[in-house]
Structure 1
């Protein structure tokens, strides 16, 4: 059951990149419609309107590993104090939600509610929250407020969520950039950061053992390019830092404020997921290999040894076949382009259910399977081809044919998988 839960999580784990806060009730949000918002958006009187960036730190759960961002608007003219949150979504039907997200058709919405409600959410989540004042000119304030009011119209509240390029942090970034004349994008969209998108993913899930492995081999080469500084602002913590570092004509854009909530950050675990798999899933194959080849010389091989090898191999090949099938399915049906053309399908074949059937048969019988000549020939060809193609994965990576970072997969997952395929090829079945 735990394995099934993990596998289901794989189909929806990219949701975790949003790190959203969705705790404001629909009733509280809907009470603050366009009629309750500041109406005047010209430059006159904008000295009485203050804008603040709320940056919520990463949390302790897998769905808040990347933080959250929102904009607070304090309008002293009508005594309103509202928070604009782009991280709300409908979760009435979890199955529909998961399917929509997997297909890439998940709509998030803008929620607007009093700052007092936001503070209750922040304290309940027990995550650090920074509030920094945006240092905008009156004309810039007017543009930003007009954009926020436009976004809060019922017909404009929903948007198609994309975890790297359109989320709760990129919306404030883009609106602020639009208000100041596009200089943020112009300045930072051509400057590369020192991190790839894969680096962000791996760092984000450091507090969650195992998730880094699932995401690392589940996402393709699209996330292996270096993000521009502008793109790094998809992460709320990075967005805050870029805005704090920004100056134009000696004018800062964000004034470092204070912490609304001071909470302890979750501890990061050592990145041992791959090592754990190799230690417990790969090292036992060394004695297995010696014992199985030794058993070939015996007239009556050890049934216990063959059952143990069959069970061990069934776990590997069952998971490999499942994830291979899931990667192929994602390529065909998911709207997330980062799940398409995954090079790891060279190792985990979508049709590895065949290899699983051979291994499971060995487990049931406690001895090598006896196959008809035609089927024996097919099985030999299948395993031999699988071994050759699997070994091509790191080779193609080294010569630059594969752009996807498959280094960890090649070091930690490929060796035990290929050894299992080889042992099945040599001692797993015989011709009748």
Structure 2
């Protein structure tokens, strides 16, 4: 090749380099090249996966680079992690991962993956990208996690709403939600019945407040559904849907949570009646069985009440505060353990035990009256139906021991 030919090739190469995009990825892509999507992952099998998960995807249309930003990272190795978890001071982080790696992980686990492409303007897309990268800085990455009002989904929701100038919140706060925090929790945890019952027992009146669609969007599934209802200005004195397109990238291959929460009144009511009947029958026929059953119930009532009291007074778990289930199960039960233990020898309860039993029956009546009064928020009918026959059976047997 002649020298002139080589110069021509060099010139052509330099020209090609000059006209190639200078932006190599989402970090510095211009707003008009950024595609913004909400990625929603369905619930998993493990209890901490039952609520689902989501992320914001940034995709550079020029380079094809795509990154998922999610707020659901926590570190077991953090100092005092379990102590902080117990007292309601959990620290979560934002993280960024390549979209392909993230989506493949959930798809291989059998969880659904859905992409909703959103109609953000170039300015809004760039502002969202800048905010997410700012949030990734070590000094900004950590936040105090709350199950209902500040979790990995509400952070995604708030970031999108911030970029859109408050459009999402303005729309969704005007729409009613479908369920309460308690109903959503029981529904999604129904695959783990014991954990579901523990959570339902431990939730206070905060979990029964009516929600609007904005508040109920603390769940990935609800946020996915609710943003379909949001419209934004299209720049031509008209509006358009926020969701431009929706694609199911991977179908769900796991058991689907029920659409409605299970009604716990019937199973817990039946369980209470059965336990009460066993207490009475065993008192009449087999005192050792009576002692075992009553002590088991009293230990449950005392420990449950102690834990609920600790959650209310010593932790930041505000969804467990002012729990009226404390009227049904509380540490007074510990004062009756000796009385039921001595029943095997037909020893009448002490004055202390009689006083504790009287206080417990008054608390039981108060719980029943509070539930019947209008305007009561906490929905704890299942636990009233369980506790009422058990306490009445226990009181009846102790009364007969006293008169023997």
Contact 1:244 1:255 in 2 (8 A): no
- Where 1:82 maps in the other structure, the secondary structure is strand
1:165 Cα deviation after fit: 1.1
* 1:282 corresponds to: 273
* 1:368 corresponds to: 346
* 1:29 corresponds to: none
1:123 pairs with 99, 107, 111, which one?
Answer: 107
* 1:340 corresponds to: 321
1:281 Cα deviation after fit: 4.9
- Where 1:199 maps in the other structure, the secondary structure is helix
Q: Larger radius of gyration, structure 1 or 2?
A: 2
Q: Which residues of 2 match residues 81-96 of structure 1 at below 5 A? A: 81-92=66-77, 96=80
* 1:299 corresponds to: none
For 1:128-184, what per-residue CA distance to the aligned partner results, in whole angstroms no more than 9, with x for missing partners?
110111111111111111111111111111111111111111111111111111111
Contact 1:394 1:406 in 2 (8 A): no
Cα separation, 1, equivalents of 2:105 and 2:282: 59
Judged with a 3 Å threshold, the aligned counterparts in structure 2 of structure 1 residues 209 and 234 are, in CA distance, closer, same or farther, namely: same
Judged with a 3 Å threshold, the aligned counterparts in structure 2 of structure 1 residues 157 and 37 are, in CA distance, closer, same or farther, namely: farther
Cα separation, 1, equivalents of 2:104 and 2:52: 17
Judged with a 3 Å threshold, the aligned counterparts in structure 2 of structure 1 residues 197 and 380 are, in CA distance, closer, same or farther, namely: same
1:284 Cα deviation after fit: 4.7
Structure 1: gaps spanning 5 or more residues: 1-35, 296-301
Q: Which residues of 2 match residues 215-294 of structure 1 at below 5 A? A: 215-248=199-232, 249-268=238-257, 271=262, 275-286=266-277, 288-289=279-280, 292=283
Judged with a 3 Å threshold, the aligned counterparts in structure 2 of structure 1 residues 115 and 179 are, in CA distance, closer, same or farther, namely: same
* Number of matched pairs: 374
* 1:20 corresponds to: none
For 1:249-287, what per-residue CA distance to the aligned partner results, in whole angstroms no more than 9, with x for missing partners?
431111332222212342558937664454455325336
2:296 matched to 1:318?
no
- Where 1:369 maps in the other structure, the secondary structure is coil
Cα separation, 2, equivalents of 1:386 and 1:262: 52
Cα separation, 1, equivalents of 2:97 and 2:214: 28
* 1:60 corresponds to: 45
1:190 Cα deviation after fit: 3.9
* 1:423 corresponds to: 396
Contact 2:57 2:69 in 1 (8 A): yes
Cα separation, 1, equivalents of 2:58 and 2:278: 66
* 1:80 corresponds to: 65
**What is the TM-score of this pair, normalised by structure 2?**
0.85
* 1:70 corresponds to: 55
Contact 2:59 2:65 in 1 (8 A): yes
**After the TM superposition, which of the residue ranges 102-111 and 250-259 deviates more from structure 2?**
250-259
* 1:387 corresponds to: 361
Contact 2:328 2:384 in 1 (8 A): no
Contact 1:109 1:158 in 2 (8 A): yes
2:374 matched to 1:400?
yes
1:124 Cα deviation after fit: 3.2
Q: Which residues of 2 match residues 161-176 of structure 1 at below 5 A? A: 161-176=145-160
1:428 Cα deviation after fit: 4.4
Cα separation, 2, equivalents of 1:238 and 1:326: 31
Cα separation, 1, equivalents of 2:120 and 2:108: 31
Cα separation, 1, equivalents of 2:195 and 2:158: 30
- Where 1:47 maps in the other structure, the secondary structure is helix
1:389 Cα deviation after fit: 1.6
1:360 Cα deviation after fit: 3.6
Cα separation, 2, equivalents of 1:280 and 1:188: 40
Contact 1:46 1:138 in 2 (8 A): yes
**What is the TM-score of this pair, normalised by structure 1?**
0.80
